[in-house]
Chain A
Amino acid sequence: MSKRLSITLLTAPAMIILLGVFLIPMLLMLLLSFQDENEAFSVQNYALFVQDPFYVQILWRTIRVSLWTVLATLVLGYPVAMYMAQATGKMRGIVTMLILAPHLISVVIRNFGWVVVLGEKGWINESLIALGIIEQPLRLLYNELGVVIGLTDSFIAYMVLAIATSMYAIDPSLNKAASILGASRVRTFFSVTLPLSLPGIIAGTTLVFSLSMSAFVTPALMGGTSVKVMPVIAYEQIMATLNWPLGAALAFLLLGSTIVLVTLYTKLIETKRYKEVFAS
């Protein structure tokens, strides 16, 4: 059998799926997003986005929620990654397992657990009231806070793993060298550990941001009807209003703005790093 034939036969089945379920449908969706009610070419669906403050507001809310999620996963995830880097093999394995395993269980179920914990008659509110700390239940759910809590739980594993990977690569003798030269723990952290783990931070923040921007299930379950984000209104346009062109355009706008923001962010950080390198 010739090499060419082998390659074709081996890759054809997967390629058929990719073409038929992914590439052609995406192209179709893109074309559809440029159609008006009479199926004529139009940019009205995208123009709506500039004209109608409603959509701008929704996009801004989506970005805001995603940024809070990035911050929360970073603040909570960084110490975990640091702990994993310092821990011995067995302990590291246990932590890895406990942080990754929940990730393989459906997000619907994890969100449900949080609803039980955070609800008005949930565990946290009942306990706080019983202890006499608060009188009225706190609103921890069906607002932006609820969505951020849910998303943080969903994506923290990615942040931890990204940072831990870059921490594993740090030579432990660097820490020793710093302390021999008289640097304090804090100084060592800011001069050695933090700069060397920066690639992991960049990878983690970018990934968590992109995932949060396009998350649908958590905002739908933990944000309720009051916190609508882009994926939720795109879904409504497709499945409820049946305005497919607008739904498609909203989904692409979301993807486009995510790509633009992530690119700007990585560019900004790179330029800053170059400046630092040249300044020293």
Chain B
Amino acid sequence: MKKINVLGLITFVVLLLVNLPFLVIIPSSFTAAGYLAFPPEGFSWQWYTMILDRPEFIDSLWTSLKLAAITAVLATFLGTLAAFALSKYKFRGSGVLNALMLSPLTVPSLIIGISALLFFTRLGIAGTFTGLLLAHILISIPYVVRLVLTGLSSFDYTLEKAGYMLGAHPFRVFWDITLPLLRPAIVSGMIFSFLTSFDNVTVSLFLVAPDTTTLPLAIFTYMQETLDPLVASISSVVILLSLVFIILLEKVYGLERLFGLNSQSH
């Protein structure tokens, strides 16, 4: 019994440390003082209204949301199609193709960012929204492929066959049988892609221009020059936004199952 208590205590401390950044950021965003302080001094919303006066944060928040939403839809679409091919058909080279689909996970983001910058400069799309979008789709595809493949591995293809035998059109079979059964995997692939894009810094770093900066990058740049409660208030906004998606993810799929599939982030 005593051993469990020691382990429990260490676990408690570790959980506290891992969540400490948020426990500090959110209160200090409400400070009435003109500088960062924890515990905060007084209470005020001033640092939240201040965000509204900073177009760089508003614009980049908009860019980030747009980017993450389009990335989520496209990466999920492309990844799901590929996962279908990999799961449904047995063919020569399927192992290689599978490894290829997951390979962006095994290469550091730094290299993905640099190589994309070099190539996109030649194509003339470095610094554009399109370039950024293409790179974000790339880093999201492996997660979708893994998630949907896992979903498909327990999928009962006789259900599809039954549909065909009853005379349903292949599209109808897909829409009424296959898709609903795979929905948790596909939806979580979409949410995870959204978060992957919304959080990314290391790849975006090489591909943004001043007018296509994403929010995490705007915070990153601002933080290197100034540390004031404005960072805390804008961070709190991001934390709240992310939390919505994290809770959704937990409800739809379960974080533990999800991380069993994950092997790299930044």
A residues with a Cβ closer than 8 A to B are 3, 6-7, 10-11, 13-15, 17-18, 20-22, 24-26, 28-29, 32, 76-77, 79-80, 82-84, 86, 93, 95-117, 119, 121-123, 153-154, 156-158, 161, 165, 185, 207, 210-211, 213-217, 220-221, 231, 234-235, 238-239, 244, 247-248, 251-252, 254-255
Find residues 71-92 in chain B having any chain A CB closer than 8 Å to their own CB. Answer: 77-79, 81-82, 84-86, 89, 91
B residues with a Cβ closer than 8 A to A are 3-4, 6-8, 10-11, 14-15, 17-25, 28, 36-39, 77-79, 81-82, 84-86, 89, 91, 97, 100-101, 103-104, 107-112, 114-120, 122, 134-135, 137-138, 141, 145, 195, 198-199, 201-202, 205-206, 216, 219-220, 223-224, 227, 231-232, 235, 238-239, 242-243, 245-246, 249-250, 255-256, 259-260, 263-266
Q: A109-B238, A113-B20 are in contact. Are A79 and B110 (CB under 8 A)?
A: no
Closest 8 CB pairs of A and B: A113-B21, A214-B108, A25-B115, A10-B85, A25-B119, A29-B115, A83-B7, A14-B82
B199 lies within 8 A of A104 (CB): yes
List chain B residues, Cβ under 8 A from A216.
109-110, 201-202, 205, 266
Partner of B141, one of A18, A83, A102, A114: A18
| Nearest-Cβ distance from residue A83 to partner chain B, whole angstroms | 4
A12 to B160, CA, bound (A): 24
| Nearest-Cβ distance from residue B162 to partner chain A, whole angstroms | 20
B21 lies within 8 A of A109 (CB): yes
A102 to B107, CA, bound (A): 23
| Nearest-Cβ distance from residue A139 to partner chain B, whole angstroms | 16
Since A22-B103, A102-B22, A107-B199 are in contact, a sample of 17 more A-B pairs with Cβ atoms closer than 8 Å, ordered by chain A residue number, is A7-B91, A14-B82, A17-B138, A18-B141, A29-B115, A86-B7, A101-B246, A105-B199, A105-B243, A106-B216, A107-B265, A112-B219, A112-B235, A123-B39, A214-B108, A255-B107, A255-B108
A109 lies within 8 A of B85 (CB): no
A17 lies within 8 A of B78 (CB): yes
Partner of B111, one of A83, A207, A252: A252
A217 lies within 8 A of B201 (CB): yes
A123 to B28, CA, bound (A): 11
A79 lies within 8 A of B11 (CB): yes
B206 lies within 8 A of A238 (CB): yes
A18 lies within 8 A of B14 (CB): no
Name 29 A/B residue pairs within 8 A (Cβ), A-sorted. Answer: A11-B85, A11-B97, A13-B78, A17-B78, A21-B138, A25-B118, A26-B107, A28-B119, A29-B118, A79-B10, A79-B11, A80-B7, A83-B7, A96-B255, A100-B255, A100-B256, A103-B259, A104-B245, A105-B242, A105-B246, A106-B201, A108-B216, A108-B223, A113-B24, A114-B20, A165-B260, A211-B264, A217-B201, A235-B110
